[in-house]
Amino acid sequence: MLSLWGVLCKGLERRNAAGHLWCMNKTLLSFGHGYSARALAAVLIPQGWRVIGTTRSADKTDEIARTGVEPLIWPDGDDVMPALAVASHVLISAGPTTDGDPVLNDLQDAIEARAGDLRWLGYLSTTGVYGDHDGDWVDEDTALTPTTKRGQMRKDAEAAWRAIPDLPLHIFRLAGIYGPGRGPFEKVRQGTARRIIKQGQVFSRTHVEDIAQVLAASIAQPASGTAYNVCDDDPAPPQEVIAHAATLLGLPVPPAIPIEQADMTPMARSFYAESKRVRNDRIKEALGVRLRYPTYREGLAALLKNG
């Protein structure tokens, strides 16, 4: 009896360079179908892709379905194995915990069994794996020396995915994400935005639409084992971004608060523990990506224009 994968792919099979059979069918299984994954789905579905997205919450299935994505409740709900069996591509957005990577914890044996048949697997990591560089530049060849617990968990998760033989793994180290529904405008409007000042502090950031186009470009040009930094061209102090957002809105620029005087949660304060400028040459040179929003100025202007 043919497997579900065999039924779906009958007549569409090809062999890759290693001799493994893969399917020309375009089916993306998205684990942890969140903000960045939704942006990618919006690019792929009009191109004829089938996208299956997992969520932990039954309350989100209708919202996911309205975008053309087939929702699955995972891990405590639907059986994800049939979806994994037919997937040609897999995206991992689910973040690691102190117990490790949740997808590998639940499905490592199944993923290892399908590793050679997958065309592409993307893992969304973070530039936090590089640690603190006192504002200096880092690239994909910089040693991974995270200084936060979250960064260390991401480093460990990257290593766990890399350890799977024959897996067509692509790692995307994302800078701070903004886009529709995520940005400084609402806080500025509400008067809750703060310009926290730490001397020499800079962050890299990326618009979610640029994340989507990088992922789509990688899917079109797979290069197994490659890591990509996904960020814009202008690492900038966070207080400058807040000030620019206020100026665009025609509202007063929030007052500056020295970090020593700022009332911050441990999570928020941890973001200020690291300062670095992240290079993005590889996404441009290897994938031919031209950023839609090369700096936060273009990105914020577009968000304001589009409401």
- State the chain's mean pLDDT as an integer: 92
Whether 149 and 95 have beta carbons less than 8 Å apart is answered as: no
Distance CA 34, CA 17 (A): 33
**Is 20's pLDDT higher than 80?**
no
Dump pLDDT digits (tens) for 185-215: 999 999 999 999 999 999 999 999 999 999 9
Is residue 14 scored above 60 in pLDDT? no
Q: Which fold has domain 26-177+206-231+279-292?
A: Rossmann fold (3.40.50)
Q: Name which of 290, 224, 238 is nearest 269 in CA terms.
A: 238
Read off φ and ψ for residue 101, nearest 5 degrees.
-75, 125
| pLDDT band, residue 18 (cuts 50/70/90) | very low
| pLDDT tens string 78-92 | 999 999 999 999 999
pLDDT of res. 44:
97
Single pTM value for the model: 0.91
What is the 3-class SS of 102-150, one letter each residue?
HHHHHHHHHHHHHHHHCCEEEEEEEHHHHCCCCCCEECCCCCCCCCCHH
Per-residue pLDDT averaged across 139-148, rounded?
A: 97
- Crossing angle of the two packed helices 238-249 and 296-305, in degrees rounded to 10: 30
Which tokens sit at 107? Answer: 């499905």
Backbone angles phi, psi at 59, to 5 degrees: -70, -20
* Residues 97, 150 contacting (CB under 8 angstroms): no
Element (H, E) at 101: none
Assess contact for 132 and 142: CB atoms under 8 A.
no
Residues 6 or more apart in contact with residue 163 via CB below 8 angstroms: none
Residue in the block written with tokens 């998205």:
30
- pLDDT tens digits, one per residue of 271-298: 899 999 999 999 999 999 999 999 999 9
